[in-house]
Copies of this chain bind each other. A is one copy, B any other.
């Protein structure tokens, strides 16, 4: 495609006071934009933003809504997004990598508009269906379809009050009762959708009637009637309350009191319980396999990094634009004042984050490519699942070291940008407060940054040990 035509993918910026600085650029900024991001993906995003501009439900709000209003708005947006069919049906017949890239770009576009919405969809649709695909079998296809078509709102219930990082020690148990062919489960905490979810993909320790512990397993657990949203008997469910940000998401708690679910609700891709109550694993090391399955969460971490690098750009651009327009002091006491972007101190404060925004966008893009190609390759090969488990620890180490880097850099960029915009940066209208409050949990969820850093270090030490063993000395 000729370069002139490629540039039309990126719309012009409105003319205004920034033109003076923009006209000094020694390169075409649209070309630069297309270096940072793939042209096709840029096009997907702008198309979505154009469509959402005419949707009142997605118009910016000028004052912080109440927590309940934020939740209602996000829930309505999820439904409206389903109607809008942002993903054209034909992408589902395309190869894995193409399809996931497309969906990731939709997520990025939505995240830039409404962070709560994108997280709500990512957890309730993306993460749920991906996990179901990885852990379930054909008997869970109906639930998969309903979640994908937004007929049911879903959530992923892993974390408990006392167990976040240490999932292996979670206390929720599911005991199989051969007489009724049901499981019993007890007490769990914080899924995603504590006000509206009708179905949870819940992790619990599986016990068979003989008292044997079969480790953490996934279960489909109906929470509420999808029509009335009233909880089923035996389920106590509610919202955990106001958060610092992302209040559009209704994080909830759920407790089970002798609550029974059918045997078929066990996600049985790697092992199953027979009607008689015998646990049968299709793999020799089901624990390891579960690790691989949980690795589908790497996609979630990549999504967070994509969102974070966008947030970083967002903050840096606010600070740079403000610095170009804001004048204060000057070389001559009584002469014209000077844009603060001209001051070395100010450049030293904000330019590194502008550079980081570019570097991290490119590197997160590259890392996503590697991840998607690996998964695609594993799907194409007969021993694909095993292939994936072999390299899963390397991908995990890469993602575990990168997610802290990207999210912490974005965190610091937002703060420096807020301060660099002075009092005006403290106005809600500057958007830096919203960016900070909504970005904040990225340092914690899908793996606490410090814990992830240790996992990456652990992997590195293992490599060193292996290399030492193999070396002839």
A164–B429 CB distance below 8 A: no
Q: Is the CB of B454 within 8 A of A345?
A: yes
Cβ-defined contact, A423 with B450, below 8 A? no
- Asked whether any CB of chain B lies closer than 8 Å to the CB of A101, the reply is no
| Contact size range, A | 35 or more
Chain B nearest CB, measured from A133 CB (Å): 26
Residues 29-57 of chain A, each 1 if its beta carbon lies under 8 Å from chain B, else 0 = 00000000000000000000000000000
Copy tally for this chain in the complex stands at 2
Partner of A428, one of B162, B244, B433, B443: B244
Fill in one digit per residue for A229-256: 1 if any B CB lies within 8 Å of its CB, else 0. Answer: 0000000000011111100000000000
- Given A67-B64, A440-B418, also A345-B450 (CB < 8 A): yes
B428 A241 Cβ-Cβ under 8 A: yes
Question: What residues of B have a CB within 8 angstroms of the CB of A426 in the complex?
Answer: 243-245, 440-441, 444
B63 touches A328 (CB 8 A): no
Interface status of A165 (Cβ within 8 A of chain B): yes
CA distance A165 to B422 in the complex (A): 10
Query: Using a CB–CB distance below 8 Å, which chain A residues touch chain B?
Result: 63-64, 66-67, 159, 162-166, 168-169, 190, 240-245, 326-329, 333, 337, 345, 349, 411, 415, 418-419, 422-423, 425-429, 432-433, 436-437, 440-441, 443-445, 448-450, 454
- Apart from the given pairs A64-B242, A190-B423, A245-B426, 9 other A-B contacts in the complex at a CB distance below 8 Å: A64-B64, A166-B337, A241-B428, A411-B415, A419-B449, A422-B444, A422-B448, A423-B444, A426-B444
Query: What are 29 A-B residue pairs whose CB atoms fall within 8 Å in the complex?
Result: A63-B67, A63-B242, A64-B67, A64-B242, A164-B423, A166-B337, A169-B337, A190-B423, A240-B427, A241-B429, A243-B428, A243-B433, A244-B426, A244-B433, A245-B426, A349-B450, A411-B415, A418-B440, A419-B443, A419-B449, A419-B450, A422-B444, A422-B448, A423-B444, A423-B445, A425-B444, A426-B441, A433-B437, A433-B440
